[in-house]
Chain A
Amino acid sequence: MLYIKCPHCGMRPQTEFSYGGDATVKRPELNKEISDHEWDDFVYNRKSLRGKHLELWQHISGCRQWIKVERDTATHEIFKTFKADEEVA
């Protein structure tokens, strides 16, 4: 079971969190002609990466905030966690 550092609450076990998917996908810009292909990519298409991956988690049984977690999908090592509005370098 992973041990995740919530930027608001501190170290908490994985059971308190809910997984929210890839944090790097960007919503297509508003007021612009958007092709079906772009919508498809945004809504459905994800890469199954092996290695470092930035993902969203929600601290559902805690502060209920969304956070970003930088995690290795192969070894489960967690490098860093960010608040949802924080810019990731």
Chain B
Amino acid sequence: MSQKFRIENVGLINRDKKLSFKFNGKTYYGYEGDTLASALIANGVHLVGRSFKYHRPRGFFGAGVDEPYAIVQLYRNGETEPNIKATEQELFEGLEAKSVNCWPSVNFDIGAINNFLKIFLPAGFYYKTFMWPKSFWYWIYEPFIRKAAGLGVASIKHDKERYEHKYEYCDLLIAGSGPSGLASAYAAANNGAKIILAEDKPRFGGSLLTSDVNIGNQSGKDWADGIIAELKTMPNVVVKNRSQIFGYYDHNMLVMSENVSDHLPKTKKYHPNKRLWYIRAKQVLISSGSIERPIVFGNNDTPGVMLSSAAKEYLKVYGVLVGRNPLVFTNNDSGYETAIEFKKHGVDPIVLDSRKNPESEIISEAKNLGISIKNSYVVVAAQGYKKVKSADIASISDDKKQLGKMENVKCDCICVSGFWTPTIHLASQSGNKTKFKEEIDAFVPGQSKQSEITLGAANGVFSLEETLKTSFAAGSELSKKNN
């Protein structure tokens, strides 16, 4: 079967190696380096699951750890695992996955009747309805409710995989390998400090992989590759991908989960499935970046509505178009980057900007490329049930209180961009008192309680130049303190 939404010669996937996988019993093909999500989108599959109570159709919304919808049941090497995010699961030969919370199939789900009966199903109605007659409980109500509850199915077999844990000590732990993490790691490594650099995705580089930037005379991605290659040769540096730092405990103790084998069809002999690292760091540098915010409108859970940064990632990293007729709905400049990427690959997007007269370099670039832009326009509702078919849009008054006349535009995906929220979880866990930054409408780390520092987008700094400068300085400063 051809991959209808894959475009030629774009992306970081290995096109020489074709992989077959099964989703809901049907065989599809993807490439090495794909995630389950990108391979499904390449094949035009957007309907991956059903919501918990009303069984509304669910598609993809993000492109990584931020995915809220695309949860699947995974089958690997005779084992099954529930609650796997399709956007995080890397594709391997023979992968099998199924949608959860739907019966008999994701396309035709009987439970979806709840969506039409919703006025009769207020919160907590079950507590009253299933009380009488009492004799019905054991044979009728409970089996039925148990079947309806929960998303995935846990395996009842003994887990044959091995799991390791280990302790590690370092001078500087860097969480995230975006521009900020790489610059500080490079500076600190050259000072001889013992460093661990952790990245939760398979590829290093963070935002450099998706944005069109140059550092020096190199593209962002080449710069990242160069630094990673150099760091890997240094004996004082541990570079880890597929490793997520998920806990910050007392006295600078951090916990990292390294995914050793889940991206392979079968765990290698003597290898663990996952490895848990307990890291005692003298200094911690948090460069975890930021996650794009969605914008609220009617039916914004319809498959086909997704973050504009996710659409850009699918395009730039996996060479996959999320739609051929996209609508970009934005309230800031980031949406234009996605629109320009679409335009460059032969797709004509429509940009709706809720601002009245935005002006910046990237907007004039978009205008020069001939992208149609509607200012002071918003999406009121998405139309379509299992996939976005069109969008109701309307102009909005300057005080954002009055909507103009409703229009309907055809589109097959809506990319939303509601600015960025710094990923400050690790800083918060360390006891950092966060503060609200008015300019970006978001919380950023404030006063540190332990020896940690947050840099880059995670600290609310969205300019690449400033990020690189401060990170480089911080990296060399922190490593000096230790020696």
Q: Which residues of A are at the interface with B, using a C-beta cutoff of 8 A?
A: 1-3, 13, 75-76, 78
Contacts and interface: CB of A to CB of B under 8 A. Distances in A.
B251 A2 contact: yes
A13 B250 contact: no
Nearest to A78: B251
Contact of B280 (A3, A75, A76, A78): A3
Contacts of A3: 250-253, 280
10 contacts: A1-B253, A2-B251, A3-B250, A3-B251, A3-B252, A3-B280, A13-B253, A13-B278, A13-B280, A75-B431
Interface in B224-253: 249-253
Interface in B398-432: 431
Interface string B453-473: 000000000000000000000
B250 A2 contact: yes
Ranked 3 nearest A-B pairs via Cβ: A3-B251, A1-B253, A76-B250
Contacts of A2: 250-251
B449 interface: yes
Contacts of B251: 1-3, 76, 78
B401 to A, nearest CB: 47
Contacts of A76: 250-251
Interface range on chain B (Cβ under 8 Å from partner): 10 to 19
Nearest to B255: A1
A3 B254 CA distance: 12
Nearest to B280: A3
A1 B249 contact: yes
Contacts of A78: 251
Contacts of A13: 167, 253, 278, 280
Nearest to B169: A11
Contacts of A1: 249-251, 253, 278
A2 B280 CA distance: 10
B449 A75 contact: yes
Contacts of B167: 13
Contacts of B252: 3
Contacts of B253: 1, 3, 13
A67 B251 CA distance: 19
A14 to B, nearest CB: 8
A31 B278 CA distance: 51
A76 B431 CA distance: 11
Nearest to A4: B251
Nearest to A11: B280
B477 to A, nearest CB: 23
A78 B253 CA distance: 15
A68 B431 CA distance: 26
Nearest to A1: B253
A1 B254 CA distance: 9
Contacts of B278: 1, 13
B252 to A, nearest CB: 8
Given A1-B251, A3-B251, A3-B253, 18 more contacts: A1-B249, A1-B250, A1-B253, A1-B278, A2-B250, A2-B251, A3-B250, A3-B252, A3-B280, A13-B167, A13-B253, A13-B278, A13-B280, A75-B431, A75-B449, A76-B250, A76-B251, A78-B251
A62 B10 CA distance: 57
Interface in B245-276: 249-253
B271 to A, nearest CB: 26
B430 to A, nearest CB: 12
A76 B249 CA distance: 11
A15 to B, nearest CB: 9
Nearest to B167: A13
Contacts of B249: 1
Contacts of A75: 431, 449
A36 B351 CA distance: 82
A32 to B, nearest CB: 42
A75 B249 CA distance: 12
Nearest to A3: B251
A79 to B, nearest CB: 13
Interface in B86-100: none
A13 B167 CA distance: 10
B194 to A, nearest CB: 15
Contacts of B431: 75
A72 to B, nearest CB: 11
Of residues A1, A3, A13, A78, which shows the largest number of chain B Cβ atoms within 10 Å of its Cβ? A1
Interface string B433-465: 000000000000000010000000000000000
B60 to A, nearest CB: 37
B167, B251, B252: most-surrounded residue (chain A CB, <10 A): B251
A3 B253 CA distance: 9
B240 to A, nearest CB: 21
B250 to A, nearest CB: 5
A57 to B, nearest CB: 14
B277 to A, nearest CB: 13
A2 B251 CA distance: 6
